[in-house]
Amino acid sequence: MPHTRPAPGPHATPAASGAYCSGLRRVGILTGGGDCPGLNAVIRAVAKSLMRQCGVQVIGIEDGFAGLMGTTARTRVLDWDSVSGILMRGGTMLGTSNRANPLASEAATAQVLAHVQALQLDALVAIGGDGTMSIAHGLAQRGLRVVGVPKTIDNDIAGCERSFGFDTAVATVTDALERIQTTAQSHSRVMIVETMGRYAGWIALEAGLAGGADIILLPEIDYDLAAVAAVCREREARQRYTVICIGEGAKPHGGQLTVARRVATDTADPVRLGGVAHALCDALQPLLHSEVRATVLGHVQRGGAPTPFDRVLATQFGNQAAQLLMQGHTGRMVTLQQGRLDSIPLADVAHTQRRVPQDHPLLQTARQIGISLGEG
């Protein structure tokens, strides 16, 4: 690929293509980790902002860091037209991988850095969750100029009060809970709905509240089986049905996480949770008169078009990432704090997660209106 600066096209602002651009000529962009609604909106915003303001050539890297880990780098040029019309599309136009880990060995790290050099990338935008941010931080320590953009339906990235994709997942789970309500009512059943979210209960908490769950069980509060059964029995007598929303990382007092599978050990996140709804169903059934059923929502929570909120947030995040690069600030992650766009060092984000704090106001709201959190 020739390393020539593309002429500012019809979309470029000539006044902006000066010193403000920090010498940027070519920038790589990738999406890592699980997919999430809003990824395409970020890609579009990063690319359009860099192209329009600095005439930067944007190189899309395929399948996350996996695209930089083979003997040949897998890339494609993203021009204005290729990133147009993708705002509302779910998934990622670049593909992703949640197994590729450039930090797994010295050789893997060297391979990635060699590809970045050969591609003559001045900087990289890495859109992903905590695993991707940890990798970005490791590569930044090795001299890569990188900016991170926080993505995840789990909303668990440290230092960022809302990641794009979360709002869409909450809307999907809320819709599912509403549908479960009507069938639970008709059959006088106890219906358990399992959400994603890993070790954080944000999806279960917000969707549980929005979808009218009677019991919300979170990874942050170990539940008491007897207390959950008591709420169901009380409702059997009074309202005849109960809807329970449980995060996949929840567990009973003294119990273990429910692990669905383990993936290759050199990944940043080798454990896949799942199945806790069935475990609770089996434990609860002998304690109740009514029938208990479990629904695991799974990947439907990650699919589909982003909500308007996520489209806007993703666009803001993407543009902010481009602004950081243009101002020469790297080794940082775009963030939202107290409703304001900002950035924080990747070092503050790597290897940590944001879970629901015990004093979160939504927990108090739930308790005060009579929603059980499974506490004894």
- Catalytic site residues? 154
- Tell whether residue 154 is a contact of ligand F6P (CB under 6 A): yes
Residue in 34, 247, 306, 318 binding ligand F6P, rule: CB under 6 A: 34
Residue in 272, 278, 285, 344 binding ligand F6P, rule: CB under 6 A: 272
Residue in 40, 57, 75, 152 binding ligand F6P, rule: CB under 6 A: 152
Dig out the tokens for 339 from the structure. Answer: 């409703």
Smallest gap from Cβ 259 to ligand F6P, in A, equals: 10
Considering only residues 284 through 313, tell me which ones interact with ligand F6P, judged by CB under 6 A: 302
Minimum CB distance to ligand F6P smaller for 197 or for 306: 197
Amino acid in position 82: S
Tokens 């990382």, residue?
249
- Tell whether residue 170 is a contact of ligand F6P (CB under 6 A): no
Residue in 26, 137, 151, 198 binding ligand F6P, rule: CB under 6 A: 198
Smallest gap from Cβ 325 to ligand F6P, in A, equals: 26
Query: 3-6 contacts: CB < 8 A, separation 24 or more?
Result: 3/120, 5/55, 5/57, 6/51, 6/55, 6/56, 6/57
Amino acid in position 247: G
Query: Chain centroid to CA 158: how far?
Result: 12
- Tell whether residue 334 is a contact of ligand F6P (CB under 6 A): no
Smallest gap from Cβ 287 to ligand F6P, in A, equals: 28
Sign of the Cα torsion 178, 182, 188, 193 reads negative
Residue in 24, 126, 196, 280 binding ligand F6P, rule: CB under 6 A: 196
Give how many residues touch ligand F6P by CB under 6 A. Answer: 13
Q: Is 361 helix (H, G, I), strand (E, B) or coil?
A: helix
Residue in 197, 201, 211, 306 binding ligand F6P, rule: CB under 6 A: 197
Judged by the rule CB under 6 A, the positions of this chain that interact with ligand F6P are 34, 98, 129, 152-154, 196-198, 248, 272-273, 302
